[in-house]
Structure 1
Amino acid sequence: METKVIITDDHSIVRMGLSSLIKQFNVQVVDEVATCNELMQALKNDTYTHLVLDIILPDGNTLEIIENINNLYPKLSILIHSMQPIEVYGKILKKYQIHSYLYKGVSENEIKFHLESFIKSVPMTMSKVIDNEINPFSSLAVRELEVLHYLLNGYRTKEISTLLGLKMNTISTIKSVIFDKVKAESFTHLLQLAHAHQISY
């Protein structure tokens, strides 16, 4: 089957850079989208072999759609390319059978190496899945990370409940769990912790 790649990132310069590198591996089809909705539509309209995916996109956290993508397109290989710390997302991504993670802050040579390994289906393992004690956000479950994303972006409980299709009291409970797990004393403190542990939103 012909290798067909789709890159999902909200920064056009990142998509262009990744596309240029991937085409060096004799890949003829490299498509680009910027949002979760655009990605789901593209996957519906065409058949791809590889997906390069950021975690945080303008219309949501991709944790909200990864399970659905796995169910609908089980043969699709997924590489997470993100600024988010691996110690927070690594275990959750493994739960979804995603073992390829590329941190955006590494050198171009390392990016190229990981992309080539990914495209050629060379088995990769996530490195540096660090002990939960180091990063308090690593103890958060999938739904808690989804709520955290909207919380850090200033969404209110009612808005988050509408976006995630959950009851308001459920969102309130999840918010309390988040604050307890990361030991945040206030919303300002939560923002400070997120910044200190490189949680982008």
Structure 2
Amino acid sequence: MNYMTMRKDTIRIVLVDDHPVVIQGLKTALEEEPNFTIVSTFSSGLALLSFLESNPVDVMLLDIILPDGNGVDFCLEIKRLYPDIVVLILSNHAERSFIVQAVQNGASGYLLKNTSLLELTTCIHEAIDGQVTFSDEVKKIMVRPAESNIQGIPQLTKREKEILKLLADGKTSAAIADELHISPLTIITHRRNLMHKFDVKNVAELIMAATRNNYL
């Protein structure tokens, strides 16, 4: 990329974050860059969408957690309406699932808020140049094997498979215990073990995880 050519042009940037301190810090830092202009700042996604209807923007730094929605979802809508806007997610959330979903929704990059100013400006230029760009911390997250790949598919006993199918049918622990002629406490123990094996927090997540692994 020819950065010298890029720096002759003004890059119009919008900042979207519900923390005023973050907004002010980003604004102050980025305005030091000679070709960056902060055209506006927002604390909500809906106000942003309204602004975009009549104001040109080149780059957007978008947080995930907003008072009126999810930044990853807003990214999808923004790219649908304004495909030429470069959207970079800037967040404290370091979960792989957020990163993958953001890119799938059209984001040109994902950065954590602990990124340096140099890294941030470099990523902005890379994104404008058409690259999908990540801060160094995000790169480390993406090259690590996914937890599911490390653990592999959970191995279930015959009884666990049986209980899993009955849970998927919407039956309660008491109903399953009655059907299988065993103690409700035994069912609760099996259910707890199943959630541990699939690394989930509730039965709804258990059923989704079991479906992904072809147990249901």
Q: Could you say if the C-alpha distance between residues 76 and 101 of structure 1 is closer, same or farther in structure 2, counting changes exceeding 3 Å?
A: same
Tell me which of 41, 58, 71 is aligned to 1:32.
Answer: 41
1:7 aligns with 2:24: no
Whether 1:22 and 2:22 are equivalent positions in the alignment is no
- Greater RCO structure (CA 8 Å; 6+ sep): 1
1:81·1:101 contact (CA, 8 Å) conserved in 2? yes
Q: Does residue 1:133 correspond to 2:166, yes or no?
A: no
Q: Is the 8 A contact 1:67 1:96 kept in 2?
A: yes
Aligned position for 1:98: 107
Mapped partners of 2:80, 2:132: distance in 1: 22
User: Among 196, 200, 203, which residue is 1:183 paired with?
Assistant: 200
Mark the CA change 1:17 to 1:67 in structure 2 (over 3 Å): closer, same or farther.
same
Deviation string 1:115-157 (CA, Å, 9 cap, x unpaired) is 4544x5373433232433179xxxxxxxxxxxxxxxxxxxxxx
Q: Partner of 2:36: helix, strand, or coil?
A: coil
Alignment map for 1:86-165 (pairs within 5 Å): 86-118=95-127, 121=129, 123-126=131-134, 127=139, 128-129=141-142, 130-133=144-147
Larger of the two Rg values belongs to structure: 2
Return 5+ residue gaps in structure 1 as ranges. 136-178, 187-201
Cα 1:35–1:6, aligned 2, differ >3 Å: closer, same or farther?
Answer: same
Aligned length: 143
Match of 2:50 among 31, 41, 50: 41
CA contact (8 A) 1:22 1:116 kept: no
Question: SS at the partner of 2:29?
Answer: helix
TM-score (norm 2): 0.56
Does the 8 A contact of 2:75 with 2:107 survive in 1?
Answer: no
Q: In the TM superposition, what is the alpha-carbon distance from 1:38 to its structure 2 partner?
A: 1.1
Q: Say what the alpha-carbon RMSD is for the aligned residues.
A: 3.0
Q: CA deviation at 1:107?
A: 3.7
**2:40 counterpart SS class:** strand
Q: Equivalents in 1 of 2:101, 2:107: separation in Å?
A: 9
User: Which amino acid letter does the alignment assign opposite residue 131 of structure 1?
Assistant: P
Aligned partner letter, 1:33: F
Paired position in structure 2 for 1:149: none
The alignment's TM-score, normalised by the length of structure 1, stands at 0.60
CA pair 69-90 structure 1, distance change in 2 beyond 3 A: same
Using the TM superposition, give the Cα deviation of residue 58 of structure 1 relative to its aligned residue in structure 2, in angstroms: 1.3
Aligned to 1:72: 81
Give the deviation of 1:60 after TM superposition: 1.5
Query: 1:58-86: CA deviations, max 9, x gaps?
Result: 11212332222111101000111000115
Partner SS, residue 147 of structure 2: coil
Distance 1:111 1:35, change over 3 A: same
Q: Tell me, which stretches of 5 or more residues in structure 2 are unaligned?
A: 1-8, 150-194, 204-216
Is the Cα–Cα contact under 8 Å of residues 75 and 106 in structure 2 kept in the other structure? no
